[in-house]
Structure 1
Amino acid sequence: MNAQPGGDSALDLAIRRLERALAVLEQRLADRVARAGAEAGGLFDQDRAKLAAELDQARARERELEEAGAAASAALGKAIAEIKATLGQADARASEEA
């Protein structure tokens, strides 16, 4: 084997350089993963906020439709009552005439 000054072989030096390079690579990869996670979290928060706003709008629209339905139902009930009253009066007149 090639002995270097200090008792380390060329292979030992290469192994240490490789280990340092791997450590640097792992650190950079961890930094990138952390950054990507933070960016994805921000996008998730934006999507969640958008969905919450859309849900609020849908609930408001639902309330409006329920109110319109209740008003239509009341108007329909009133119209039915008026028709029944009119028919009742017509039946009463027909009975009187007969």
Structure 2
Amino acid sequence: MAAPTLDEAMKRLEVALGLLEASISRRLDADTRRGGLETELQLMQDDRARLAVELDGALTRLHRFEAATDDVSRRVRQAIGAVETVLAQAGQLVTEEG
């Protein structure tokens, strides 16, 4: 009767080893996926940092552009005012001479 007990023990050991191997395989797969996810997360964080720097630069250029646009607009209004003044004065000269 000792033989069936030994056979049963060997079968249980084989089942246990199979479960252990499957567990190890799942763990290795999970570690590999986690490593891939960590790498992907790091790449996304790097991209985010790069995009933040680019956005800051774009905002700085936008503010400079807005300031330049305001300055040009002011100068154009001044030029229009000067031209209107000259035209008005020229109109008065024509009227006075006429």
TM over 0.5: yes
Amino acid at match of 2:84: K
**1:70: which partner in 2?**
70
CA drift of 1:68 comes to 0.7
Amino acid at match of 1:14: E
Distance 2:19 2:5 in 1: 19
Please tell me whether residue 83 in structure 1 is matched to residue 83 in structure 2. yes
Gaps of 5+ in 1: none
CA drift of 1:7 comes to 3.3
CA drift of 1:6 comes to 6.3
When the two structures are superposed, what TM-score results if normalisation uses the length of structure 2? 0.87
Higher-helix-fraction structure: 2
Amino acid at match of 1:67: A
- Specify whether residues 86 and 97 from structure 1 end up closer, same or farther in structure 2 by C-alpha distance, changes over 3 A only: same
Runs of 4+ in 1 over 6 A off after TM superposition: none
Higher relative contact order at CA 8 Å, sep ≥6: structure 1 or structure 2? 1
Amino acid at match of 2:71: A
Distance 2:40 2:92 in 1: 76
Distance 1:4 1:46 in 2: 61
Amino acid at match of 1:17: L
When the two structures are superposed, what TM-score results if normalisation uses the length of structure 1? 0.87
- Percent identical among aligned pairs is 25
